[in-house]
Amino acid sequence: MGGVMQGAGVSPGVGSGPVRSIAGAVPEPPAGARHGGDAAAETDTALAALEAVAADLEERGERAAAVGNDDGRDVLNAQALMARDPGLADGVRGAIGGGTAAARAVFDAFGVYREMLAGAGEYMAARVTDLDDIRDRAIARLLGLPVPGVPESDEPFVLVARDLAPADTAVLDPAQVVAFVTEEGGPTSHTAIIARTMGVPAVVALKGATTIADGTRVLVDGAAGTVLLDPSGSEVSAARAAADARASALRESTGPGATRDGHAVPLLANIGGPKDVEAALANGAEGVGLYRTEFLFLDRATPPSDAEQEKAYRKVLEAFPEGRVVVRTLDAGADKPLAFLPAPGDEPNPALGERGLRMMRLHPDVLSAQLSALARAAAGLTVKLQVMAPMVTDAAEAAFFAAACREAGIEHPGVMIEVPAAALRARDLAPEVEFFSIGTNDLTQYACAADRQIGGLAHLQDPWQPAVLDLVAPAAGAGVSCGVCGEAAGDPVLACVLVGLGVTSLSMSAPSLPLVRAALARHTLDECREAAAAARAARSAGEAKDAARARLPGLADLGL
C-alpha cells in the first residue's frame, strides 16, 4: 500500500506492528420491527440486556483497576450508570408499550440521548461514542450476536477502529497493543485520555484509517500524528532510535520549567480530582493549572455537600505546598448537564447556551457554596490557591466573578479565555482579575466554528491555526499573568510558540510534562519569540507548524 497517512497525534511515542481491527459491528435493528404482543415480557428482556451490559462494564472496570488503570475504571463505571439511566429505561418501556420490538426500542431510546449529547458541546459530544458502545452491546445481546470487542492476536499489534469504546481500551494490555489509530475522535475523547494514561502512542482523526487491511504493518508516531504504511526495517529502526533519544533526553530534563536562557515557565498539570495528583507529582508538575471540579458534580441528583467539596479540594491543595493550584469553578450547563441545575428552557444550540459562569449567575447559591468550600480548604496552607471562572465573555462578567471571590475570601480570582470576544478584548477584562487561563480546546472550536469531535473537521480543530494564535496574543499581552490549560499546552512544539507569544505558564495532562519541559530547555526565549512570529505569519495550520519548527533547532535532540 505504501505512503504516510496524517491524523492528529494525541499520545506521544512510537509503535510498530501489524494492524488488527475491531470486529463485530452490530447492525441497526430494522425500523418498524414489532414484538409478538407480550409487552411486559419484551420489556423485561430489554431491561435485562441493559442490566447485563452495566454489570459487564463494572466487571471490566474492576479488571482495569486491578492493573492500575483507575481512570479506566471510572470511565466504565460512568458507562454503567448510563446503561442504568431511569430515563433511558422509560424510553424503552414506552416504545415497547407501543408495539416496538425490544432491539429497536433500545436503538431508538439511545437515539434520543445521542442527539442531545452530539449537540451539547465538546465534553458531552465526546461521550457519544460511549453511548453508541452501550447501545451496541445491548442490541447484540438481544439479537444473539457477538458483542463487539478487541481482536485476539498472537503478536503485538496496532489497534485500528473507527473509534474505540472505553470498555475495550480500559482493559487492554500495553505490552500487546503497541498503538491506537482511529478514524474519528479528538484530543479529549476517551481513546486519547486512556492512551495517554497507558503511555501508548495514539493517532486519531485519521481519514481512511479503517481502510487499512488487517495484517498491514504500520509505524505509528503519536507525537507527529503520522501512520507509515509498510515501513522498512531501517525506518522502524530510525523511529525507535529517535524515541530512545527522546526518552534519554526526558530523563535528563528535570526541575522547574524554563527556557535555555533561564526564563521561568511553570509547568502545571490538568487534573479531575485527588486521584490524579500522584501522576502529576511523578511527572514533575509544579502545581495544578486546571482542577476540573465538575467531576465532583457529574452523575448526581444532588450537589456534593460542603464538607465533601472541602475534603476533595484540600487533598489537592496539600499536595503542592510550595506551588499553585488553579481551580476552575463548576463548568456546568449545556455541555455538562446536571440533574440539579436544569438549563432554562430549550436551547437550539446548547454549546452556545447557558454554561459555565452564565449558569452560575442563574444559581449564585451553588457558586457561593463552592467558593466558600475552596476558601475553607485553603485555610492555613502555604499553597497559592487561584480560582477561575469558565465561559467568561466580557468585563462585566469578570467583575461579577471577582466580587463573588472576594466575598467568599478567595484572594486570587481569574477567568478563562475561551470565548473569542474575551480574547480580543482581554485588555478590558484584565483590570478586573489577577490572571487569565486560555482554554485552547474551546477557543479553537469557537474561533473556527468546528466541533472538535468531528474527524472530518480536524484541519479546523487545530490550535496551530494562525487565527487561534492571533487570539492568544492579545490575552497573553493584556498585563496579567496568562497561562494555557488546553491540550495545546501539551504539544512540545506549540508550547515553545505559546511562550513566545507571552504565555507565562503551561498546564497539561501529566504524561505530557517531561517532553514539554525538555523542549523548552533546549530553546531560548528569543527563539520561542521568533517561532511564534513565524507561526502567526503563516497562512495555514500546517505552514504555521513548519515555520515554527524551522526556528526551533533543539527539537532534533528530542526526535521531534
Sign of the C-alpha dihedral, residues 448, 449, 452, 455? negative
Q: How many whole angstroms separate alpha carbon 258 and alpha carbon 59?
A: 44
Quick one: cell of 491? 504539544
Q: Nearest 5°: phi and psi at 204?
A: -120, 175
| Burial (0-12, 13-18, 19+ Cβ within 10 Å), 36 | exposed
Give the SS3 label for residue 208: coil
Give the residue from 189, 323, 321 showing the smallest Cα distance to 268: 323
- Nearest CA to 125 out of 445, 533, 544, 478 is that of 445
- Which residues are 218's β-sheet partners? 17, 229
Residue found under cell 515555520:
547
Question: At 6, phi and psi to the nearest 5?
Answer: -110, 125
Q: Which of 448, 485, 496, 528 is catalytic?
A: 485
Exposure letters 154-165 (e unless 16+ CB within 10 A, then b) = eebbbbbbbbbb
d(CA 33, CA 248): 60
Q: Residue 24 corresponds to which cell in the numbers above?
A: 463485530
Is 528 noted as a catalytic residue in this protein?
Answer: no
Cell readout for 375 is: 476558601
CA dist list (Å): 232 to 2, 14, 93, 200, 274: 10, 15, 56, 22, 45
Among residues 190, 405, 448, 523, which one is catalytic? 190
Q: What is the largest CA-CA distance in the chain?
A: 78
Is 412 an annotated catalytic residue?
no
- By C-alpha distance, which of 352, 351, 437, 425 is closest to 390? 437
Residue 454: burial class (beta carbons within 10 Å; 0-12, 13-18, 19+): middle
What's the order of all strands across the beta sheet hosting 226-229?
4-6, 226-229, 217-221, 14-21, 157-161, 177-182, 202-204, 8-11
> Grid coordinates representing 12?
506521544
- How far is 104 from 29, CA to CA, in rounded Å? 5
Torsional sign, CA 407, 408, 410, 413 = negative
3: left (phi over 0), alpha (psi -120 to 50) or beta: left
Amino acid identity, position 209: A
Alpha carbons within 13 A on the beta-carbon side of 9: 24
Report in angstroms the alpha-carbon separations of 382 from 12, 267, 288, 414, 544. Answer: 35, 19, 14, 19, 41
Residues tagged active-site: 190, 485
